A and B are shown apart, each in its own frame.
Chain A
Amino acid sequence: MIRIENLHKRFDSLEVLKGVDLDIKQGEVIAVIGPSGTGKSTLLRCINYLEKPEKGIITIGDVSVDASKASKKAIHDLRMKTSMVFQSYNLFKNMTVLENVMKPMMIVRGVDRATAEKTAKELLEKVGLSDKLDQYPSKLSGGQQQRAGIARALAADPELMLFDEPTAALDPELVGEVLGIIRDLANNHRTMIIVSHEMRFVREAATRVIFMDEGKIIEEGTPEEIFDHPKHPRTIKFLNMFE
């Protein structure tokens, strides 16, 4: 059970999240759509405390963090339950693909080298990178880097995966290979939140679509409800841009 209650975040005078509430069930694939600057990235970043919200409670399984009294330990526990896939991949440049996936397991959870290596190799096979294990990120295409990023996030064995526009920085011909992997994860009922502008993908892969505007959730529903029968005028206006 994942619950976000009354989440508020501001940057100085700019109020970015104005009370976001969201309940997510195990296995749900939530897509967040909305205009630029609406706070979609900020929402994801607050969920694993890359940004510290001012107010609100985030609960994932047995970990609950209240922003007004968030301890270092609680934040760490929360981060252990989530993992993030970034638009700019953010692989560790001093580590090979294999090390990017196995080292965090060893460092953060104290997994022994042999086990970490075995798990990492399995995950990298899943994302089709078995032939790139010993390459450094600088030698990979964007699509390959992002697939490595997904394998690294999976290695943390998270209860919730967060994807912030995972294909936005990719050349068009590389988008498919990354979306394919995310779709596989969705089909296997991995719980996740995806911020994406790829409407076709959202429609196919999401179990629930959330439309955000100006720091609030304006409308939510199944992909059919949102895309075929949107109710709120702002949703209609936003979707019209994609026609």
Chain B
Amino acid sequence: MFELDFFIDLLFSLPKFIPVTLKLAFLSLMLSLSLAIVLAVIRHYEVPVLNTLTKVYISFFRSTPFISQLFLFYFGLARYVTFIRDMSSTFALVLILGLNTASFMCETIRGALLSVDKGQVEAGHSLGMTNLQIMWHVILPQAVKVAIPPLSNNFINLTKNTAMGFTVGIIDLMGKAKLEAANSFRFTESYLAVLIVYWVMIAAMTKVQSIIEEKLKNKY
């Protein structure tokens, strides 16, 4: 039987763990976004050697499951490398999730850089601007506008992926729900409650995303 009281209690106690999930998401976002910008610029200018390494990196992280990457790192490599062994599970999750998401964001940003027409770059050169000045003052501001909608989708995927944290022992939304389920054997109630909390949270994020996009659209 569906235990309604248990379900409702859990529905109202789970949101306490939203900050844990959001913290994981934001830390991974910071890491993935900064890395992705650097990688996208490397790809854009086809920097020798680094460009090839970046391609391999992207291919690896995009073509393998996140959970396998996390396990190899946290359970596999940790046996040989002390600093991974001593690492907190939060740190490990943020690191691998950041590296993983960067491989998606890099391609998004690269596409956005390409969307700025070559004429503007030539205008910059003809005025004596350097590549870096053109990148910073002309290309990036326009690329950001193009990239924000797909990047916020990347971010939403990232937020959902934080739920994998329970596999390395993080008590976030999913981790808490898993614990409750295991202790009470009330799997339906527990997992339904956590899904609803995720749903409301992500729906709210999607709303914020569309407000930001609307704001940007009117600028130029």
Contacts and interface: CB of A to CB of B under 8 A. Distances in A.
Interface of A: 48-50, 76, 79-80, 82-84, 86, 88-94, 103-104, 107-109, 136-138, 152-153, 156
B120 interface: yes
Nearest to B125: A50
B130 to A, nearest CB: 8
Dominant secondary structure at the B interface: helix
A104 B129 contact: yes
Contacts of A104: 124, 127-129
Nearest to A45: B122
A90 B122 contact: yes
A86 B119 contact: yes
Given A93-B142, A93-B220, A94-B220, A76 B120 contact: no
B141 interface: yes
- What are the 5 tightest A-B residue pairs by CB atom distance, in nearest-first order? A90-B119, A90-B123, A136-B220, A84-B126, A94-B141
Given A94-B138, A94-B220, A86 B122 contact: yes
7 contacts: A49-B125, A84-B122, A84-B123, A90-B119, A94-B145, A104-B129, A107-B137
Contacts of B120: 90-93
Interface in B63-89: none
A91 B119 CA distance: 8
A165 to B, nearest CB: 14
Interface in B82-140: 116-117, 119-120, 122-130, 133, 137-138
A48 B126 contact: yes
B128 A138 contact: no
Contact of A108 (B116, B122, B129, B141): B129
Given A50-B122, A90-B117, 6 more contacts: A48-B126, A76-B130, A84-B123, A90-B119, A92-B138, A93-B220
Given A94-B141, A108-B128, A136-B220, A88 B119 contact: yes
A104 B126 CA distance: 11
Contacts of B219: 136
B117 to A, nearest CB: 8
